[in-house]
Structure 1
């Protein structure tokens, strides 16, 4: 069975720009208000991670993120 890893941090990184968002699922009736990074901040973080760590998961994350946002 496939697995899914989810990482939740309760504090923002220094200098992170956040906004309130609604988390929802088509399979569950309850919606939740959460604070999350802006799209601009996420792009900065993904590019920075790719340049700093040079791990394949960072390239995958960036490619997936760009595909979801720009398509």
Structure 2
């Protein structure tokens, strides 16, 4: 399982936190990993969509996204 440093941020930029992007997990594995680290939810990227997955239960919210490099 490969992973890289990442930063999660609110849409308005008022909150951010250091994180890890982990590749190659199923949604279930991602939820389990999130629960191990005390997370309420995790993000899943699938092509041009991202989903917010609740770590407990099957709640999911999916939206489009765009890449914005940090300058």
Give TM-score scaled by structure 1 length. 0.33
Give TM-score scaled by structure 2 length. 0.33
Q: Flag the structure with higher helix content.
A: 1
